Structure formats: structure tokens, C-alpha cells
Amino acid sequence: MVIFGTALLAGCYLLGVLLGDVLGALIGVKANVGGVGIAMMLLMAAQYHMRKRGLMRPETEKGVTFWAMMYIPVVVAMAATQNVIVAVKSGPVALLAAFGSVALCACVISLINRAIHRTGAAAAWQAGAPAAELD
Amino acid sequence: MLDKFVHEIADNQLVAAFAVVGIIVWVSNLLARHLTGGRVHGSAIAVLAGLALAYWGGLVTGKTKGMADLTLFGGMALMGGAMMRDFCIVATASEVQIDEARKAGWLGFIALFLGTLLPFIVGVAVAMAFGYTDPVALTTIGAGAITYIVGPVTGAAIGASSDVIALSIATGVVKAILVMVFTPVLAGFMRLDNPQAAMVFGGLAGTVSGVSAGLAATDRRLVPYGALVATFHTGLGCLMGPSVLFLAIKAIAG
């Protein structure tokens, strides 16, 4: 049943967010600490064990993959609800601080990733098939 | 007739949002295929179109939620809100190859720390250059350069004034939008073509919205790897902002 997959996803999401809140409270932060990341790891673990026991039927998988596929449309909706006006009209401090940090981070990412490339770790993955777009 | 149609949409906002986003994505795919010959990802155009519509929505209504402030498109707020975004991000974890993720574990960790420190330093430096000297204001603006959530959380914790908090939110929003727009453009330069690289990117670029939209527009398969690391970014920032980073700035500027 499709709903089992979606319910599994929902369970992992809620438990992850709860643990993120607890973690935040434990270290005294007024925010959720890695709740979504924890949820992702819970889902990976749950799927790994269920697949091994043959509990993950194709129908059940569909209840998860549908939401993974809905990801890009949701991001488009998110983009359409950003406060772009504030971003455009904000003064030079916001613009420069944002631009500077993005540029600096891009350079550091490039440095690190070029180092990874030299080790050849990336080669195997690139041979994989390109992802289907927006479907 | 038209009145009835408008009424119907206002009553079924979420469903209407599905339809509207479907149209945006469809048109974006057409543009990507025929205008750019497939060189630009359809999703990159769709995200840009979303931002343009958000600008238009903000212009028309003078409010803060982009298109969602127009009654007809109110459902966009639910569809594009944090709940749906995070739910779908978690779902993408089903595509993660655990061995690939494990390989970059420690790199993601380093990237997270750099991704908190570097933007903060840039933010503080820019604020200093514009004449801010108060350590509370400096820390809040620097924290805004981490993400637009870390900024206000830090500002509230250390007692910043509301205009400084607004400035830090603006910094974070501009950053998220820059990351959304420039990730596909800079993907080649950043060598963003494998899971490890995506995890490094997720840690350094931070902002979940920027990372997830940027990666979606670059290569959808990379989304879960980047998001897995990026979701710890805001938490780490909120942890370090009002504590270590504030104390450091106080020691230097105060």
C-alpha cells in the first residue's frame, strides 16, 4: 500500500524533527538542530532494514518516491514565496555581505572539490546515468 | 463565470498551487529546451521564474510572502512552506547511496564549520567597513550572512535592535537567493558533479533553501547529499552565533 511508504516517511520526519528540537534544547539553542538531517538518516536506516527483510514492496516505495519527485515543484513554490523585494531593496551592507560570503564559499568549495577530484573518488559516480529532469 | 472561478480557486488554494506550479515548470521546460537548447536546466529557469513572480507579488501587495500574498496564489505559502520543503527533502534521502555519503562524512563536517565561520567573518568585515562598531550589531549582521534564520535567532539572543535584525535577515535572504541563482552557473567551477562535492557544497553554502534549490537546478540526484549536510548548518550557526562568535567579536571589537 502506498500509504505505508508515506506514513514511514512521515514517521521519520516527525521523529527527526522532535529529536532536533530536543537536541537544540539540550545544548541551549532556540532552534531545531539538524532535525531534517536526523530524519533523513532515520529514513535511510529504516529503508535499509526493511529492504533486507523484503518489507519494502514496490507499492510502498512509491509512497516515498512520489514526495522525493515533488521536491522540485515544492522548491519552485518556495522561490515564489520569498521576500525578493527586501533582497533587491536592501542596502549595500546586506548585498555586499551576502555577495562576499557566497563568492568566498564558492572559491573554497572549488578548492576542496578539486582536491577530491585529484584523488579520483568522483570518477566512478560520474559514469552513472543522468537524472531524469522534473519528472 | 469569472467570479465563480476566482471564488473556486480561493477556496481550494493548495490544489490551485499544484496547478500553477505545474504550469510554471512546464513553461520553464519548454523555454529550456527551445530557447537554450537544453543547456540551462528547466528547473533552474523554474526557480528563477518563481523568484520573478515573488518579486511581482511583493510589488503588487507590498507584503513579505511574494506571490502567496495574492489571494489566488495563497496556496503557494503552504506548498512552498517549511513543512512541505522539509518533508520532500527527507523523502529524497531514499535515493542516497549510503556508501557515497559515508565517504564524505568528515569532509562534510569540516565544510559545515567553514560554512559557518567564513560567511560570518565576511559579514562582520562588511559591517565594520560601513561603520558599525557595536559588537552586538556586528555579530548579528555576521550571523545573517550564515543564514537568514541564524541572524535573527542570534540577534534576539544577544539583544540586537530590530533594524539590525532586519538587516541581518535581508543579508541572509540575499545570500539564499544568490546561492539559488548562481549554483547552476558556478557548478562547473565548483566541480559540483558527485555526491562528495555536493556534501562539501551543502556544508559551505549553508542555507537549506539556497542549497536545495541550487542543487535541484544543477543535478537533481545531488539534492539529498547537499541537503543532508546543509540541514545541520542552521543548527550549528544558532549554536555558535550567540556564544563563541559573539564572545570572539566582543573580545576584538568591544
Does residue B91 sit within a domain?
no
Helices A58-69 and A2-26, axial angle in degrees (round to 10):
60
Contact B36, A64 (CB under 8 A): no
Percent of chain B with pLDDT over 90: 24
Q: Does A106 touch chain B (CB under 8 A)?
A: yes
Amino acid at B68: A
The residue of chain A nearest to residue B223, with distances taken between CA atoms, is A71
**Which of B45, B80, B115 marks a domain boundary?**
B80
Cα distances from B113 to residues B120, B139, B200, in angstroms, run 11, 17, 11
Confidence (pLDDT) at A133 = 42
Question: Which residues constitute the domain of residue B114?
Answer: 98-253
The residue of chain B nearest to residue A117, with distances taken between CA atoms, is B191
Contact A71 B88 (CB under 8 A): yes
Model confidence at A131, pLDDT cuts 50, 70, 90, reads: very low
Confidence (pLDDT) at B124 = 94
Confidence (pLDDT) at B20 = 94
Report ipTM for this prediction.
Answer: 0.82
Cα distances from B38 to residues A75, A79, B29, B214, in angstroms, run 20, 22, 9, 17
Q: Does A119 touch chain B (CB under 8 A)?
A: no
Residues 35-74, chain A, touching B (beta carbon < 8 A): 35-37, 39-41, 43-44, 47-48, 61, 64-68, 70-74
Put residue A52 in one of left, alpha, beta given phi > 0 → left and psi -120 to 50 → alpha: alpha
DSSP string, chain B: -HHHHHHHHHHSHHHHHHHHHHHHHHHHHHHHHHTSTTSS-HHHHHHHHHHHHHHHHHHHH-SSSGGGGSGGGTHHHHHTSHHHHHHHHHHHGGG--HHHHHHTHHHHHHHHHHHHHHHHHHHHHHHHHTT---HHHHHHHHHHTT-TTHHHHHHHHHT--HHHHHHHHHHHHHHHHHHHHHHHHHTTTTT--SHHHHHHHHHHH--HHHHHHHHHHH-GGGHHHHHHHHHHHHHHHHHHIIIIIHHHHHHHH-
Contact B21 A117 (CB under 8 A): no
Contact A71 B111 (CB under 8 A): no
Cα distances from A3 to residues A48, B93, B204, B231, in angstroms, run 19, 18, 36, 26
Does residue B89 sit within a domain?
no
| Mean pLDDT, rounded, for A92-102 | 90
| Mean pLDDT, rounded, for A44-73 | 89
Alpha-carbon distance of B138 to B250, in angstroms, equals 9
Q: Is residue B76 scored above 90 in pLDDT?
A: yes
Confidence (pLDDT) at B93 = 83
Does residue B86 sit within a domain?
no
Does residue B87 sit within a domain?
no
B244 Cβ neighbours under 8 A, 6+ residues apart: none
Please check whether residues B59 and B174 belong to one and the same domain: no
**Which of B23, B50, B80 marks a domain boundary?**
B80
Confidence (pLDDT) at B38 = 65
Tally of domains within chain B: 2
Count of A-B CB contacts under 8 Å: 348
Give the closest residue to A103 by CA, choosing from B165, B121, B130: B121
Confidence (pLDDT) at B40 = 66
Please check whether residues B137 and B246 belong to one and the same domain: yes
The residue of chain B nearest to residue A34, with distances taken between CA atoms, is B232
**Which of B80, B114, B129 marks a domain boundary?**
B80
Contact A122 B193 (CB under 8 A): yes
Between A90 and A46, name the one with better pLDDT.
Answer: A46
Taking only the tens place, the pLDDT of each residue in B120-176 is: 999 999 999 998 889 999 999 999 999 887 888 788 778 888 778 878 888 888 888
Please check whether residues B33 and B120 belong to one and the same domain: no
The one-character DSSP state at A111 is H
Taking only the tens place, the pLDDT of each residue in B219-248 is: 888 888 888 888 777 778 877 888 888 888
Percent of chain A with pLDDT over 90: 35
Contact A72, B209 (CB under 8 A): no
Sign of the torsion formed by the C-alpha atoms of B104, B107, B108 and B111? negative
Alpha-carbon distance of B124 to B245, in angstroms, equals 10
Does residue B93 sit within a domain?
no
Contact B122 A65 (CB under 8 A): no
Percent of chain A with pLDDT over 70: 83
Does residue B88 sit within a domain?
no
Residues 186-225, chain B, touching A (beta carbon < 8 A): 186, 189-197, 200-201, 204-206, 208-209, 212-213, 216, 219-221, 223-224
Alpha-carbon distance of B36 to B14, in angstroms, equals 32
Confidence (pLDDT) at B229 = 86
